[in-house]
Amino acid sequence: MPSPIPEAFPEIADFWKVYCSIHAGKGLDVPELIRSWAAAKRKSLAKWSTETTFDELCQHGCSSISLAVALSAIEVSQQAASRWQRTVGPKRRRDQIIRSLTKAATALEEVHEKFIDTTLQDLSASLDPDLRRLLSLDPLLPEGQRLTPEWPEVAPAPHPATIVRALRFYARFFGMVEALSAETQAHSAESLPKYLLSAYVKQATGDFHDREMSALIGSALGTGIYDETAHRMWRSRNYEQLDKTSSSLANLLLGFGVVISSKP
């Protein structure tokens, strides 16, 4: 298939030209820096003996820069997934945390409200009628004239209402994590980056190249164990669904690869 040309991506070409011009004024050769980074990424594949596979895809029409970006995305997704799992923990633990936070917020809110009600009733009973009326109007007064004191900065703990809001926020946060996990459970952490690499190679070469793809993905996953059959099965289950929502990312990667790889 004919190789795309930079003119096919005018918006990306214009952006890249301006971006490089800005940094050139600072003495930086951005295109050369990125080409050097892509070369280093290719060299790092020596550990898995997949540099020739990388080169084969480039000979078929891929950009070394776009391949390097897609492989890096898989590596980063692996690291991020591991870090996220360590942060939020398994589902059972998240459920326990949500219940504990909600229970603590409810308990503190109840105690706080009862304390205020009791205190105000005691104060109201001991005050003369005029001062009682003035205090009842306190929320209606301009801020500078209110009698209700602010929570002291030197207090050993924040205002109870602040703690309640914080507890409920974190309960909602972990609830959001739970919902997000449920929505994405059909896909592993590296599914989108794997799709991005697969879709890019298909657009750049006209073929999926499952054998070469599986070798490179195995390298990016840090295992070297990911064969052609496994990748073809993954693609048959996931590619079309991801392509419906993420094809623009592959188009963007294709465009940047073409533009950046072209000599000025």
Question: Quick one: average pLDDT of 33-38?
Answer: 94
Average pLDDT of the chain?
Answer: 82
Yes or no: say if 64 and 38 are a contact pair by the CB < 8 Å rule: yes
Decide if pLDDT at 115 tops 90: no
Instruction: Over range 196-201, report the average pLDDT.
Output: 94
**Residue ranges covered by each domain of the chain:** 6-35+45-87+188-261, 90-184
pTM for this predicted structure: 0.64
| 28: phi then psi, degrees, rounded to nearest 5 | -110, 130
- CA dist list (Å): 50 to 39, 45, 207, 223: 13, 5, 19, 12
3-state SS track over 128-166: CHHHHHHHHCHHHCCHHHCCCCCCCCCCCCCCHHHHHHH
Distance, in Å, from the CA atom of 22 to the CA atom of 27, rounded to the nearest integer, reads 9
pLDDT confidence tier of residue 190, bands split at 50, 70 and 90? confident
CA dihedral of 204, 207, 212, 213, whole degrees rounded to 10: 70
- Is the CA virtual torsion 83, 87, 93, 95 positive or negative? negative
